Amino acid sequence: MSGKDYEMVAGLETHVELKTATKIFCGCSTDFGAEPNTQCCPVCTGMPGSLPVLNRQVVHYAIKAGLAVNCRIASYSKEDRKNYFYPDLPKAYQISQYDLPLCENGYLDIETGEGRKRIGITRIHIEEDAGKLIHQEGKGTLIDYNRCGVPLIEIVSEPDFRSVEEIKAYLRKLRATILYTGVSDCKMNEGSLRVDVNLSVRKKGEETLGTRTEMKNLNSFQFIAKAVEYEFRRQVEALEAGEEIIQETRRFDQASGKTFSMRRKEDANDYRYFPDPDLTPIFVSDEFLEEIKGKQPEFRTEKMKRYKEEFDIPEYDIEIITGSKHMADIFEATVALGAQPKKVSNWLMGETLRLLKEKELDAEDIRFSPEHLAALIALTDARAISSTVAKEVFEKVFKEDIDPEAYVKEKGLLTVNDEGALRETVAKAVSYT
């Protein structure tokens, strides 16, 4: 038999760091990039006698995310201790949620070449992040505890994925949705969004699930796709060779493009969950829930509909621009400053996307202000600069967010429309010949 006779069954656990100023159970900063072990205290390093206090903003943000993916919000939930030992968890347990999570039974609808599909979301629970291990070959392992206690939500999907395309479509939409809520920056390169993939294979037409493996801490769409494709092939080849698939945790090696066994995969009962005795249950009142619902942002679907009604731009432009809340915010703010919607769209769809692709950035990395984009458009509308000069100036705006008016004056790039001055310049040039 060949791989075409098998299908994958995959579910995702997506870990999203919340954009709170302080950690989930203490007052330590969550700023990224600080010197190692400078943002930790007795609570997040698990010192004896220290007591955690839940950050209210974490619950607020988790509910916002849950509502955005159509979850039911529990009026009563609790936090549990998940017991296992890793050196980057100094308490030797993680505070998470087990049987009573904050959000349950949600979904996201995705679009692929195969059409529309609904992906079920089993639950979203809050938990604390672990620290970071820095392995130094031949020298041992260092530990940075700054990340310990940074608040996470874990978004657990149903095993509804049957292809890499579905996984990528889901993650792109999930990331865009979370960015719209504002609860996380979802920077995969900084670990703000990480994905664990649970994958098994079975022969097409079968209903019984195969033995799953888990690939941990994947932090780019490219690596997720490569890891899934390799693991699917590996399991098919193993089954065809009569080998047993072992339930285990595997790591993806970026250099080789292969997955390698790390440890046997635990089941829930292996973690010996029990309610954390130091934390009270979480009660979400109807009033608090309605307050959050009332402050939910305009999401992409509603924004796309409004753009079609308000702005005379192509549907393709609308689809790209609204794919990023940051880009959509820039578009709307620039239009509000008086620029024509189509001209704003042209700059975003043209030069902006070109430079983003060239520099391997995404829309969330745009740093120029709406004011400077509007000023550049005004200069071109007034024919104060040529289209060629406008593109040159825009590169500076894109890179450094410079004031285009000041820049063109400083560099002498303004187009001269004074006929008398032009005649004088021509006369001088001719006199030298």
Q: pLDDT 10s digit of each residue in the chain, 433 long?
A: 556 899 999 999 999 999 999 999 999 999 999 999 999 999 999 999 999 999 999 999 999 999 999 999 999 999 999 998 778 888 889 999 999 999 999 999 999 999 999 999 999 999 999 999 898 888 899 999 999 999 999 999 999 999 999 999 999 999 999 999 999 999 998 989 999 999 999 999 999 999 999 999 898 999 999 999 999 999 999 999 999 999 999 999 999 999 999 877 666 678 899 999 999 999 999 999 999 999 999 999 999 999 999 998 999 999 999 999 999 999 999 999 999 999 999 999 999 999 999 998 889 999 999 999 999 999 999 999 999 999 999 999 999 999 999 999 999 888 856 555 556 666 777 776 5
Asked if 29 and 39 touch (Cβ cutoff 8 Å), the reply is yes
Q: Where are the beta strands (DSSP E) in 225-287?
A: 248-253, 258-264, 274-275, 282-283
The span from the CA of 161 to the CA of 218, in Å, is 17
Tokens of 166: 């579905």
> Exposed (0-12), middle (13-18) or buried (19+): which is 70, by Cβ within 10 Å?
middle
List Cα–Cα distances, 181 to 299, 333, 379, in angstroms: 8, 18, 35
Going from the C-alpha of 94 to that of each of 88, 100, 277, 305, 404, the distances in angstroms are 10, 16, 13, 43, 51
pLDDT of residue 425: 64
Q: What is the pLDDT of residue 79?
A: 98
CB atoms within 10 A of CB 71: 23
Residues 6+ apart with CB under 8 A from 181: 61, 64, 65, 68, 296, 297
The Cα 235–Cα 212 span in angstroms is 9
Q: What pLDDT score does 20 carry?
A: 98
pLDDT, tens digit, for every residue of 319-377? 999 999 999 999 999 999 999 999 999 999 999 999 999 998 889 999 999 999 999 99
pLDDT of amino acid 433: 56
Per-residue confidence (pLDDT) for residue 268, from 0 to 100: 62
The pair of three-digit structure tokens given for residue 319, joined into one six-digit string: 């689809």
Report residue 174 as tokens: 């999930």
**pLDDT tens digits, one per residue of 227-239:** 999 999 999 999 9
